[in-house]
Amino acid sequence: MIASQPKVTKLLVNSIQRHRVAHAYLFEGGNGVGKREVSIRFAKSLLCEATTEPCGECHHCKRIDSRNHPSLYRIRPDGQSIKVDQIRELQKHIQVKSMEGSKRIYIIEHADKMNVQAANSLLKFLEEPKGEVVALLLTERPNKILPTI
């Protein structure tokens, strides 16, 4: 998967091979360690028509590369924070059946920048996931995320 993160890569590949993918992951680490790259690669691995390694050639991989895959939803801070309306939009998106397959992946970048209302709203998803949904929370500051998450 990703050469710069061999332990994480091995863990994620094993979870896919054993059909034991969790519904949520927290990727933490400093700026530039590869959190975003690993999350995108993991999303490709989950949606790709190949085995555990994304092929880079199927329509799923190509659509993820072009940021145009309906089963991959990304949230980034709107200004200085991730707001509750962004999480509510995510929840609406979860309720809609996926256009391509049953799996849906949500990447929340800078998850530590969720305001309290957004974090509390996200808890419902984390406590009661619907279908084949995987959330990937990325952060450089895990201590700034609500402890309940």
pLDDT greater than 80 at residue 99: no
Give the confidence band of 1 by pLDDT, cuts at 50, 70, 90. Answer: very low
Within-domain flag for 74: yes
Give the confidence band of 115 by pLDDT, cuts at 50, 70, 90. Answer: very high
Average pLDDT over residues 17-43: 90
Within-domain flag for 88: yes
Please give the pLDDT value at position 96: 74
Within-domain flag for 52: yes
Which residues in the chain belong to E strands, given as ranges? 24-28, 72-75, 104-108, 133-139
Please give the pLDDT value at position 95: 75
Closest-CA residue to 4 (of 40, 46, 32): 32
Average pLDDT over residues 50-74: 86
Please give the pLDDT value at position 126: 86
Closest-CA residue to 107 (of 63, 44, 60): 44
pLDDT greater than 60 at residue 3: no
Looking at the structure of the chain, the number of domains it has is 1
Quote the domain boundaries for residue 43.
Answer: 6-144
Using only C-alpha atoms, the chain has a radius of gyration, in whole angstroms, of 15
Within-domain flag for 99: yes
Amino acid at position 10, single letter: K
Please give the pLDDT value at position 91: 85
Within-domain flag for 16: yes
pLDDT greater than 80 at residue 30: yes
Within-domain flag for 118: yes
Within-domain flag for 1: no
**Would you say 99 and 71 are in contact if contact means Cβ atoms under 8 Å apart?**
yes
Q: What is the CATH number of the domain that holds 62?
A: 3.40.50.300
Amino acid at position 96, single letter: V
Within-domain flag for 50: yes
Amino acid at position 20, single letter: R
